[in-house]
Amino acid sequence: MYIHRLLEKTLKEALASFPVVFVGGPRRSGKTTLVKQIGPRYRYVLLDELDVRVFASEDPKGFLDANPPPVILDEIQNVPQLLPYIKARADRDKKPGQWVLTGSQQWALMKGIGETLAGRVAVLHLYPFSLTEIQKRAARQPEGIEKLIGYFEQVARLPQKAVALGDWVLKGGYPEVVLGKSSSRKLWFSSYMQTYIDRDVRGNIKEINLRDFERFVRLLAARSAQQLNASILAGDVGVTVPTIQAWLTLLEASGLIFFLMPYYKNFGKRVVKAPKCYFMDTGLICYLVGLEEGPSTLRGPMGGALFETACVSQMYKRFAAMGEERSLYYFRSHDGLEIDMLIERPRRCYPIEIKLSSTISSQQARGIRKWMELSGDKKQTGFVVSTAKELGPVASGVRNIHYTLL
């Protein structure tokens, strides 16, 4: 059973515009399934197989001659030597949609693609299922940020088929977990992390630091949705700050975490300027910190952080599919005003507060109202994302959105 992805429209546009399209993302996020679905007429070559990999490495020209476009080259990180030869052929024939490359995101691979295929390649990112995709609503979503905001301003009904919050947070979005292809969620995530460390991490850090790296990932998972403090992390793990920064770069390049940058335009030195770190998948967080039950997890000390991570990552995935992930920020001032998420547009910002509560009142909108006063934009609309099913106005200019509508 194929589940439509938010990235489909952007992928089709890229195939109609660029000779080379690269689809990256975390391992097991559904990249191969997506490109096969969008390009059924494409020849498919998996570069994980040893004989194929040897052929491509030792005779790149012969390999490309034997596999002419249109072709999907899956797991391109295994044979990066192909990139210069693909570049040469793309320069000779600029017809769009000739090569589709997929690969698990790695810093060295992304750097090689950026440097070798600059101007010839569209770089797209596919992450684990968003809530929209899990609920099978991706094909009917508003196109563009303005239409999405307009939808939030007007939506009056909840989805007929809504995913329970506990299940969403505990399972996360990896297709094999969501679709029940693995009998044990815990075993699947354990195997996933072992594969990630063996294939993506081991060659990038010293062998003696592997145990420290695993401890660092677990500590970072427990801090999802918090402001990043590399010095405290370094002290807790027992390594240097530059080491922590290098490991954060590795996790971000792998698509396991992302950063929400602070919004400080026009506010000078009155605001906090450290980024907030989020895991891309709450299921992975639950595994790393040892949480087993969805409903009880949300009632525990990490409940609010998990709900915020789930909602912010949902928006990040949605915006990444449109190539607009850099439009998301958060805000915190030194006097205590905090907005969980801001959507920046050319003329205004839309503030969003995230509350793990089924009862919403004007009290939950106080931060948004203060933001509106500070920004001086009287025409703004703000939103509170919650578990409350009563949609509509919470305060003047502020509306409640149920999390299933994200």
CA 136, chain centre distance (Å)? 18
Phi-psi region of 339 (alpha: psi -120 to 50; beta: other; left: phi over 0): beta
CB 324 within 8 A of CB 345: no
All residue ranges of the chain with pLDDT < 50 are: none
Query: Quick one: three-class SS letters along 184-226?
Result: CHHHHHHHHHHHHHHHHHCCCCCHHHHHHHHHHHHHHHCCCCE
Predicted confidence at residue 13, as pLDDT, reads: 95
Helix ranges (H only) for 121-276 are 131-134, 145-154, 165-171, 175-178, 185-196, 210-221, 230-237, 241-253
- In the numeric block, the tokens 């297709």 are attached to 175
Q: Measure the CA–CA gap between 65 and 219, rounded to whole angstroms.
A: 48
What is each CA distance from 219 to 159, 168, 231, 236, 239, in whole angstroms? 35, 22, 13, 8, 13
342 Cβ contact list (under 8 Å, min separation 6): 263, 328, 329, 330, 331, 349, 350, 351, 352
Half-sphere exposure of 335 (CA within 13 A, CB side): 7
Q: Measure the CA–CA gap between 149 and 295, rounded to whole angstroms.
A: 30
CB 78 within 8 A of CB 47: yes
What are the structural domains of the chain? 8-125 (3.40.50.300), 132-329 (no CATH)
Q: Measure the CA–CA gap between 38 and 49, rounded to whole angstroms.
A: 23
Closest CA to 319 of 172, 141, 155: 141
Q: Measure the CA–CA gap between 40 and 30, rounded to whole angstroms.
A: 16
Task: Annotate 369-387 with b (16+ C-beta within 10 A) or e (fewer).
Answer: bbbbebbeeeebbbbbbbb
- In the numeric block, the tokens 């502020």 are attached to 398
